[in-house]
Amino acid sequence: MDSQLSDKIVGLLAATQLIEAEEILNQFPLESCDFNTAYLWMILKSHQQKYQEAYNLVTALQTHQPENVNLRFYRARLSIALGKWQEGLAFFDSIRGSGHFGGELVTKKKPLWSGESLWGKTLLIACEGGLGDIICFSRFAPYFETLGAKVILAAPEEIFPLLRSLRGVSALVEIKGVDQVDFDFWLPSLSCPRVLNLPLSEIDGSPFLQVLNPFVESWKSLTSSSKKKVALAWQGNTKFAEDYLRSVPADVIKGLLDSSDQFEFFTVYPEHSHNGLKDSRLKNLSSYIRGPEDLAGFLMNMDLVISVDSGPAHLAGALGVPVLLLNRVMGWFTFSCEPDTTQPQISSWYNSMRILHQTQWGQWQETITRSLQFLKNEEWPKDQRIKSDAIYHPNNISSTGGVIDLVQTRQGPFLTVVTDFFVGRALKEYGEYSQAEVILFSELIKPGMVVVEAGAHLGAHSVAFGNLVGPKGKVICYEPQEFLWTINRQNCFLQNLTQVEVRKEGLAQKNSSRKIETPEYSRLGNFGALELKLDQSSEDPHQTIQMVTLDSLELDRLDFMKLDIEGMELEALFGAEKTIRRLKPVLYVENDRTDIAPDLENLLRSWGYILYQHFPPLFNTDNFNKNSLNIYPGIITKNILALPQAWADEMLRKFDLKKI
C-alpha cells in the first residue's frame, strides 16, 4: 500500500468512518499484506470491537517490532478489553512517558517502589493525568498504609481541597516540589494497581472523598427544584488528543432534554465554549465554579450525573453520587475492561456508577437514546454518598444565609463565621486575627513543642500553633461550643495539620458536665465571650458540654499554654496545677477581669513565674488583606505572659514587655 492511500485510511479512521476504511483495506488481504497495512487492519478491528482478532494481530506485529510504542499501547488497551488485566497494566507501564500513558518520572532522587518492605518507610505517590485520573488513583493510598508505609501524596496544589479527606495520607505536597520532600520510595499513581498486583474485582468501589458542607449548602438555592436533578457533563478537556471521540456533540446530548418535564437539568460547562449548549431547558451554573470544591458541592446536590469519562464522572463516583457514564469504544482502561454493550454495566471502580458503552465507534446517538430510557426507568445506582459531619448548622443556619464563609488568610484557606464580630469578622476583613499575638507566639513556640490552647474558637490561633510546632510537635485545643469546635476541626483539616487535636471540651478545676445556652449564631455577636462558669437552665436552646482538667491528660511534655476562656482562667489553672508545676510551660493567659486579676497574678507568682503584661491591638496596619480600615479602633486584648526565669531575659531583649 502506498503512503497516499495509507494516509487516507488513517484519516477515515480518525473521522470514525469505519465502513469506508474497511472498503479500502479489503483490497489488501491480511494473509499477504505488509506490516503497515496489517497495523491499519489492527486499528480497524479494535474500533469495530473485534477485540480478539485485533489482539491476535497486535501480538503478531510485535514479533517484528517488540519495542514499538504504538503497538505496546494497543496491546495494553486490547488486553484490558479482553479482561487480561495485569497484562494490560504491564504494557501500559512499559510505555510510561511516551505521551500515551502516564507522565515522565517526576524525580530521580529516590528509587521507585518495587515490592520492598514498607514497614516504617515513607512512600510518595505522584499523581498524574487529568482531574479524573488524579481522583481515581488517589484511592490507593490506604492500601500502602496497611503495608506499614507513611504515605505522602503529590498532586497539583489546586486539587488539595478535594484530597484532604482521603484516608491513609499523611501529607499532601505540590507535585512540582517533590524533590524538596523526604521519602524512601516513590510511585506514579497510575502504576498502583499493577505493583499491588490487585485484581480488578478487588478494587474497592466505595466512596472515598468528602466535601465540606459549606460547599454543599451554598448550591442548594441555586439547584432548588421539585423535580429529580440531573447534571450533564458531555465535554472533556480539549487538550486530550482523543477528546473529540470521548465528548458527545452538543446537538446529540440535547436529546436528553426531551425529558425535562420529569427532570431538572443542570450543567457547569460554559455555554459559549467549544461544544457548548444553550437551551432554556438546561440551567447553566458555570459562572459559580471557582475551584474543585465548588464542582464537588454542585455534584453533591444532584440526584444523578450523566457524564463522559472526564473529571466530573470520577469526582461524582468518588463522592458516592449516582453516575451514568457514557463510554466510547476503546475508551480509557478504567472503564473499558470487558465492556458489555447490551445493558448498563456496573463499574468496578465506583459502586454508584453504571456505564453505557457505545455500540459503534464515534456514534453517540444510539447511546443517548438508551440513556434517555435509563433516565425514565429510574433504575439508577444506589446513592452512596457519605454524610459528612464537616460543619454543624444549628437551627437551620446555613452558609448561604451568610453565617459561614470560606476566606483566604495568612494561614491559608479558612472557614469563618462572619456574624462573629471579633475573630470571625477579623478573618474576613483582614485575613488574620490578633497577628501581634501570633508574632509573640512565634518567638516562644518552636518545632517539636507541645502546646495547649483553651478557648480555641474558630482555630485562628490553633492553626498558627500547628504550623509553629510542625509535624513532629503536638497541639491540643479545647473548644466546648459544638458549632465552633466543628469549624475549628475543619480549619485544621484544610491546612493538613494532623498534629492538631481539637477537643469538644472545656478546661476546669474538676471533671463535670454543664448546660449552656446555645448562642444565636445567625445574629451578630461575640461568640467567644460565652461564659461557662455557672450551670444554666432555661427554655432557650441549650447544649451540654463536658468540662475536664488538664491534669487528667497526664502529659509528659508541655511547652506553652494559652488560656482565653472568659473568666474561667483561674478554675482551669487549678485543674492544671500538677502539670504546670511539673513541666513549667510558658503561660499566656487572658487577664481582663478586674475581679479575678489579683488572684490570678498571685497564683502564677506562687508557682515561680515572672509576669509581664501583653496588650496588643486587634488591628494590624500590615494585615494580610492590606485593608487600611480599622474596624476595631482602640481595642486591645489584655493578657499575662507568665515566663519561667529561663525565658524572661531572652524575651525582654526581643519585646518591650512591662513587668507586672
pLDDT tens-digit readout, 556-571? 999 999 999 988 999 9
Is 96 a residue whose pLDDT tops 50? yes
**What is the helix (H) or strand (E) element at residue 623, kind and residue range?**
none
Residue 542 has pLDDT above 80, yes or no: no
> With 90 as the cut, is the pLDDT of residue 243 above it?
no
Instruction: State mean pLDDT over 382-392.
Output: 61
- 3 in helix, strand or coil? helix
Span 406-453, pLDDT tens digits: 888 999 889 898 888 889 989 989 999 999 999 999 999 999 999 999
Q: Name which of 103-117, 138-152, 254-268, 601-615 the model is least confident about.
A: 103-117
Q: What is the mean pLDDT of residues 71-78?
A: 92
pLDDT band at 544 (very low <50, low <70, confident <90, very high): confident
Residue 391 has pLDDT above 50, yes or no: no
CA distances from 160 to 312, 379, 391 (A): 16, 34, 19
384 band by pLDDT with thresholds 50, 70 and 90: confident
The pLDDT tens digits for 179-225 are 888 899 999 999 999 999 888 888 989 999 988 777 788 898 899 99
**Mean pLDDT, the chain, whole residue set:** 87
Position 338 scores a pLDDT of 86
Name the nearest CA neighbour of 122 among 103, 96, 102, 141: 141
613-646 in b/e form (b: 16+ CB < 10 A) is ebebbbbbeebbeeeeebebeeeebebbbbbeee
539-543: long-range contacts at Cβ-Cβ below 8 A with a sequence spacing of 24 or more? 541/394, 541/395, 541/517, 542/515, 542/516, 542/517, 542/518, 543/481, 543/482, 543/515, 543/516, 543/518
Question: For the chain, how are helix, strand and coil distributed in percent, rounded to 5?
Answer: 40, 20, 45
Q: Which residues contact 529 (CB under 8 A, 6 or more apart)?
A: 566
pLDDT band at 398 (very low <50, low <70, confident <90, very high): very low
pLDDT value at 537 more than 50: no
Dump pLDDT digits (tens) for 493-522. 888 898 999 999 999 999 998 887 777 777
Average pLDDT (29-34) is: 84
**Does pLDDT of 538 surpass 70?**
no
Is the pTM here over 0.85, yes or no? no
